[in-house]
Chains A and B, each alone.
Chain A
Amino acid sequence: MISTLDALGARRFGGIEPVDCCTNARPRDWRCVFPVIFAVTLAAGIWPVHAQSAKQNTAPDTIEQRLLACAMCHGEQGEGLRGNEYYPRLAGKPAGYLFNQLYRFRETYRKHEMMSYMLRFLSDDYLREMAEYYSRLRPPYPPPTSAPEDLLSRGKKLATKGDPSREIPACTACHGEKLTGMEPAIPGLIGLRLRYISSQMGAWKTGGREAHSPDCMGQIASRLTADDISAISAWLAAQPASSDTLPLPANSLKLPMKCGGVQ
């Protein structure tokens, strides 16, 4: 555009002597007024920007302010709602895992009407920002819950040793010995409530929840019985969080099976 204008200017106005308005002693001279109009015309395009930034009543331009809508269920620090066991902890889970979940909710691959509704018209970039935000938070963990001893011992065996005879790997094989998950996309399992864990494993078993193909959690859940799921969930919910709650660095574990979407 500029070059066209230059060319036009050169062709049509070439040879016009420049007028020096700064030093010209006659301010009312036509030649001085027009550059002013010219300048005002240009400035007018910039003006509203300044007018807007001067507004007093603005909301803090922070991600936590923007995501207050999520805090109602997941807590202000993504700690999950106390007193209601269902809303999961988001804080400290790897950003890749959180983004995968947000994306899958938005596209309705993961089923939860409210989550799909909330995210439906939000961009990938915004979902990524949300995921990174929650992955950075470190609120305290809730106290572990208790369960009958026999349930816990059965759960512990499955979660830490698996059951090779049924091709069930241990939870710790992928989620880490301290159950904190692994970057970039394997979630931590501590700080979740019994009801949430068991309903997710149940959903995987019945096909209500799926992950990227190959869906290793789906395969594992299909080999678990309802009693296995109760035991594992009870044991996981009973584990106190260690002081070191960070997910393991990427590739620190060799996964026992092929899993989609975790690299």
Chain B
Amino acid sequence: MKFRLPVAYVALTIIFISGFAARDAVSAGPKPKPGQSEFEARGEYLTTMGDCIACHTVRGGKPFAGGLELPTPFGKLYAPNITPDFETGIGGWTSEEFWRAMHQGRRRDGSFLYPAFPFNNYTKVTREDVNAIYAYLLSLEPVNNPNRKNEMRFPFNQRELLVGWRTLYFREGEFKPDPKESAEWNRGAYLVDGLGHCNACHANRNLLGAVAEDDVSGGLIPVQNWFAPSLDSHTETGLGGWELDEIVELLKTGVSDRAAVFGPMTPVVAHSLQYATDSDLRAMAVYLKTQAERAPPPGPTQMKPGVARITQLMTKGKEIYDKLCIDCHKENGKGVPRAYPHLAGNRSILMEFPINPIRMTLVGGFPPSTKGNPRPYGMPPFGHVLNDEEVASVVTYIRRSWGNKAHPVSPSEVNNARGVPID
């Protein structure tokens, strides 16, 4: 009799906790909207995780109706309409044809899709998940919006030649869980390397625009000219030193105590990751933290300025910092958590490619409005008040103060970054 009551309390406590957990799982998971089946709701969640809307929608246009220009180093592509319009969308597609596009990177007629569509990631998505995405897309309002003809340069306009690219770089196949790892790790790997297609940006593309399948070692995003940092455990620039909660918070709200998202990561959080369940975000963080260190991609050839020149840049840089930056980022470069990212030890600032801190100084910006951070603090653009020498000075200053030890930046690097379209 003595032990019955404790047992009862243990049981009650467990039930209570798991009750909370179960409620969280249900409330955070996809809830069908009125008129939507559970399968379609699941498809909607997966479509959000795949961030399909980012490419398949033009600004101010109907969602998924396509038409967005995707500039590549090989010419221009236009994202197609994936609403269920019979004539111009995928209304006439069978689920088999949709699966073939996602899994094999083939168009409806069987010819090859350009790898701007990240089928080398999507091939890992399970058949059931692809079917759910298909069911969701077919449940949308059809939009009649004819697809625009791609403008790829010769020889890249010859789709048949993609057979070579596919032989070299495409490995067809669903995600195979690693039995040595936890279910959480495997879920993270499935999302990061599959639907999330993180390495579409976070890896260095080779001359033919290809990336290794689980490479997340960072790279310069072609045309957009932001540098997507490595996500592996590299001690200086990777996620190795981050707490799981910090990674989850950044992905969910766009800001964390350490950082704020900017550049092309802003839409990823705005359209996709803020809607991810906490358990999925955590799984992604768990997986990312175990990624092996890879050699960072080679940086640009650095000028090697003399000591006098560096001192000159640093002196001028401090002057500007004390005038324009210090109120928010503080004298010690530590900033203010969730409002103004710290600059001391900040991976984005210290990377060998200095393009991110240069462009942030030039254009500023806001992290996205998210549920967890609806009214973000912003950073002003300084490109119109600072000249190239001044930007180079202040960026050199933040890259080499408070224990930071990155290369100085030259005015010509700043000048190169000025011509890049910002929006």
Contact = CB atoms under 8 A, between A and B. Distances in A.
A19 interface: yes
Interface string A54-70: 01011100010111111
B378 A31 contact: no
Interface string B76-120: 000000000000000000000000000000000000000000000
Contact of A107 (B59, B377, B422): B59
A31 B7 CA distance: 9
Contacts of B385: 72
Nearest to A124: B369
B17 A59 contact: no
Interface stretch (B164-172, B175-183, B360-368, B411-419): B360-368
Interface stretch (B218-226, B295-303, B332-340, B392-400): B332-340
B422 A114 contact: yes
Nearest to B367: A121
Nearest to B383: A114
Contacts of B135: none
A114 B363 contact: yes
Contacts of B39: none
A5 interface: yes
**Interface footprint category on B:** 35 or more
A67 B376 CA distance: 9
A43 interface: no
A1 interface: yes
A125 B374 contact: yes
Interface in A105-140: 107-109, 113-114, 116-123, 125-126, 129
A121 B366 contact: yes
Nearest to A1: B23
Contacts of B380: 68-73
B9 A31 contact: yes
A47 interface: no
A57 B365 contact: no
B19 A5 contact: yes
B270 interface: yes
B59 A121 contact: no
A255 interface: no
Interface string B3-36: 1011011111101110110110000000000000
A66 B337 contact: no
A191 to B, nearest CB: 21
B376 A66 contact: yes
A10 to B, nearest CB: 12
12 contacts: A1-B20, A38-B16, A59-B377, A63-B375, A66-B376, A66-B377, A70-B378, A116-B423, A118-B364, A122-B369, A126-B369, A126-B376
Given A34-B6, A114-B423, A126-B376, 15 more contacts: A1-B20, A30-B9, A35-B9, A37-B13, A41-B16, A66-B376, A68-B380, A69-B379, A113-B422, A118-B364, A118-B381, A119-B366, A122-B368, A122-B369, A126-B375
